Amino acid sequence: MAKLITWILLIIGITVVSLNPTYASGHPIADAAELLKSKKFTDKYRAIELLEAEGSEQAEKILIALQESRLYYLKRDKKLIILAPDAEPLTATNALTHEDIGPIKKSAAKKISLNNRMRSQIRNVLAMMDLRNPLADKRLAAVNQMLDNPSAESATLIQTLLIDEQVPEIREAMEIVIALGKLTSGDKNERLTAVAVLDGNIHPAVRNGLRKLQQQTTDKAFAADIKQVLDNIQAKLQLYSLVENIFFGLSLGSVLVLAAIGLAITFGVMGVINMAHGELIMIGAYTTYVMQLLLPNDIGLSLLLSIPAAFVISGLVGIAIERGVIRFLYGRSLETLLATFGISLILQQTVRTIFSPLNRSVETPTWMSGSWEINSALSLTLNRLYIIAFCLLVFGVLYLVLKKSVLGLQVRAVSQNRAMARAMGVRSEWVDAMTFGLGSGIAGIAGVALSQLTNVGPNLGQAYIIDSFMVVVFGGVGNLWGTLVSGMGLGIANKFLEPWSGAVLAKILVLVFIILFIQKRPRGLFPQKGRAAEG
């Protein structure tokens, strides 16, 4: 019986110790805790080495607390404690046993002091712990942290782990750290090898390391080699900058194409200057906002449903405008312009009455958020990538509708010769209404895309109406391919002019160019042919 009780007490004791661990003298963490309380920095260096060798999660917590100046010891009993970050009042836990000590006065504890060598040592130790982490993301983050502060010591630490690393991206980052460390080597051959390894690498740490070495070296031939490598890196950066400008230009061009393609249909086919086109875009954007109010827990689905909803709502508004006002004004361009301008004001005020004059924010789905990072110099935002793809999809569908469907055939017939189309039995009034509805619906879809790039407000459409007319006129009135080419071209031109002229002056320069171009080619880049052109 006595033996049984003894065994039970032993098991209970082991369980208690496992739940509330303590570290006896001779254990690395216990020895490190004693050394950290010392006033000698040599003892503290040794303590950090012991914690690194121990390598447990508890050792990592102590090192992080020391790095963040949250490691103290109590004056009364010398217990090592960790202060909770940003806690009021100050609360602490025992660094060795995890025991909650509760609120303490700062005067009752003494902080473990640090110097720059300790900070550097802790950074390297924590990085090494992360470098041994089984998760690839953790290892890559640790290597990148070393890239921000490269040193010969970091290179030595990395060298031992490079052999076992299997992930190519992490291996490449490790090789850069090693090469940067060798730049400061006393061996000239090692420095030359390091420069050759870094040739063409665009990481900012590489450029900084090479520039620093170029300024320090007295060897002219070596300095020339470094300059050549820096020139190669700069050429790559310029190429990536060019790609980035083209990408942003295409994304702006996609917005212009979406905004203008509906106008190209109504203006090109019907000859109507619709000043309310911008407000039809605005209606599409507000449709997206309302759909998110109806489906607040599924933003991605609400955005997808907004596309057909915006097309239908803007299309119906467009048909109402055509049937109610425009059909009485065909052939009277000035009256049509003034009437649609008045309609645009009415639509703006209606939206202000319903939704207030304040801008509304539309949430972006998670699958459209963030960016695609190709390298440290080039990243492409996902929302703009999706909008470019969406623009091409809308263009393709609309092109097929106009070229392959019965409505498209009738639209082309009416645009080329309205009287002959009527004689052949085409109901031109129905074609006009459907054409105006189609163009208005496309404008609504453009509003859905714009809601992902900017805030939704009553004046949203006004920012794009002038640009839309420029795209249509420059590309060739009524020509879909002209609208696509001119929209993308003007978007890219704007992005290349903006860095040295500013956004406003860039638009002015583009407008001046279009005016001069129209003087030479009044029918635009892709003029219509046949009877449509003669009319």
Strand, coil or helix: what is 475?
A: helix
510 vs 152: CA distance, rounded Å: 53
Pick from 332, 291, 331: which is nearest to 313 by CA?
A: 291
Do 59 and 29 touch, CB atoms closer than 8 A?
A: yes
**Pseudo-torsion of CA 54, 58, 62, 67, nearest 10°?**
90
pTM of the predicted model as reported, rounded to 2 decimal places: 0.70
pLDDT digits (tens, 9 = 90+) for 264-291: 888 766 777 888 888 999 999 999 999 9
Q: What is the pLDDT of residue 285?
A: 92
H-state helical runs in 277-381: 277-294, 299-324, 333-355
What is the radius of gyration, based on Cα positions, of the chain? Answer: 35
Distance set, CA 238 to CA 200, 377, 411, 431 (Å): 12, 10, 47, 51
Pick from 214, 234, 235, 212: which is nearest to 223 by CA?
A: 214
User: Identity (one letter) of the amino acid at 232?
Assistant: N
Distance set, CA 279 to CA 326, 337, 357, 459, 513 (Å): 16, 14, 14, 8, 27
Q: What is the pLDDT of residue 281?
A: 92
Q: What is the pLDDT of residue 7?
A: 46
185 vs 474: CA distance, rounded Å: 61
Q: What does DSSP say about strands 109-111 and 100-103: parallel, antiparallel, or unpaired?
A: unpaired
Do 45 and 34 touch, CB atoms closer than 8 A?
A: no
Strand, coil or helix: what is 365?
A: coil
Distance set, CA 164 to CA 126, 132, 143, 158 (Å): 19, 10, 15, 11
Q: What is the pLDDT of residue 528?
A: 64
433 vs 341: CA distance, rounded Å: 19
pLDDT digits (tens, 9 = 90+) for 25-58: 557 788 888 888 888 888 888 888 888 787 777 8
Q: What share of the chain is helix, strand, coil (3-state, %, to 5)?
A: 70, 5, 25
Tokens of 84: 């909770």
Q: What is the pLDDT of residue 186?
A: 67
Instruction: Give every residue of the chain whose pLDDT is below 50, as ranges.
Output: 2, 4-22, 24, 530-535
